[in-house]
Amino acid sequence: MNVFITGGCGFIGSHLAERLLDRGDRVHLLDDLSTGSMQNIAHLVGRPGFGYRIGSALDVPLVTELVDSADVTVHLAAAVGVKLIVERPVHTIETNVRATEVVLGAAARKKKLVVVASTSEVYGKSTSIPFREDQDLQLGPTSHSRWAYACSKALDEWLALAYLREKGVPVIVTRFFNTVGPRQTGQYGMVLPNFAAQAVRHEPITVYGSGEQSRCFGHVCDAVEGLLRLMAIDAAVGEVFNIGATHEISIRALAEQVRTAADSRSDIVLLPYGEVYAAGFEDMMRRVPDVSKLQRVTGFRPQTSLEVIIRDVVEDQRTRLAAAAGSTHLASART
Ligand code: UDP
């Protein structure tokens, strides 16, 4: 199979590309390197069947060419990370909505399958736990930037389903819940790589708010497995799927587990939201996926334990720390 991945130099995209190559598929990536990085795909460059282009998912001729030459497009390119969203709402809305329009428009020419990546953010402030794909979405007011992301991704979903109904483009929508693992950076505000980076440096682990808010963390390898299975099943077309783990943990407890796993001397400190996020930020207290639909259709549900997930992320941060120390050492040796 020939697979085109937008946002392929990102965290999920690079893992997906690697799995596809490992099983013998051909992969072409497009990324503008806004949040993705060449480092994520450095180990893939030169492998048979692998190609990449650095460019924008808003570039219609380029996207059309790449969609046309693939059997399936996985559209992961998006403005992501709560930090970015609150700081650059115009960029978020424009990137997320326009890029999806461009990809779907290109796929409509030859009715190529598109997987549109969405997010658990679309459930918004819903307290109806666990979140089911068919439940009502509960977004906050337009005056709060955080909801711009959720709203832009919800619009992407509507657009995808509309392309199927009106133009016959086969689409699958996947709502990723807190997906974590090696290669994810804490740079855009994601909690687990942040905590792990702080722990391996023995710096204070910064818990925002009371730390009583909770999340379910899924391993990126499980997310990729779910995605690959969905891509291969006709019954998935036209459907929306949650992809995530169901083991819930408070952010405070997560900080403690990371500290233990890293054998760290870090203190755990609570920071009020006002000190870390711009005005207009609202946090969600709980977010738990119902993954029974994914399991029913694919026979798969994410299962990597939180212990293993934390171990992998801590290990990744240790490797980064050692690499950074190595390059500092080299630089000082040169001077
Ligand atoms: N968070 C935290 N410390 C950090 C980064 C995030 O306590 O250094 C909190 C954040 O406020 C939220 C939770 O961890 O309650 C998960 O944040 P993340 O951005 O990873 O995911 P999302 O909010 O999208 O679920």
| Segment 44-99, tens digit of pLDDT | 999 999 999 999 999 999 999 999 999 999 999 998 876 778 788 898 899 999 99
Please give the structure tokens belonging to residue 74: 């996985």
316 in Cβ contact with 188 (< 8 Å): no
Residues lining ligand 1, judged by CB closer than 6 Å?
A: 82, 178, 189-191, 194, 206-208, 213, 215, 251, 283, 287
SS3 8: coil
* Mutation choice for ligand 1 from 177, 207, 208, CB with most ligand atoms inside 8 A: 208
C-alpha closest to that of 316 among 219, 207, 175 = 219
144 pLDDT tier (thresholds 50, 70, 90): confident
Does residue 278 have a pLDDT over 90? Answer: no
Residue 315: burial class (beta carbons within 10 Å; 0-12, 13-18, 19+): middle
Alpha carbon distance 311, 154 (integer Å): 33
Residues in the chain: 335
Nearest CA residue ID for atom 11, ligand 1: 208
pLDDT bracket for residue 333 (50, 70, 90) = low
How confident is residue 324, by pLDDT bands cut at 50, 70 and 90? Answer: confident
Bridge-partner residues for 213, per DSSP? none
* Residue 153 predicted with pLDDT over 90: yes
- Tell me the mean pLDDT in the region 189-209: 96
Distance from chain centroid for Cα 260: 26
Which residue has better confidence, 279 or 199?
199
Model pLDDT, residue 327: 74
From 285, 100, 264, 148, select the one nearest 195 (Cα to Cα). Answer: 264
Which class does domain 2-177+219-245+286-303 fall in? alpha beta
Average pLDDT over residues 299-315: 97
Closest C-alpha to ligand 1, atom 6 = 191
- Locate the domains of the chain by residue range: 2-177+219-245+286-303
Rounded average pLDDT over 129-135: 98
User: For residues 44 and 25, is the Cβ–Cβ distance under 8 A?
Assistant: no
Q: What is the mean pLDDT of the chain?
A: 94
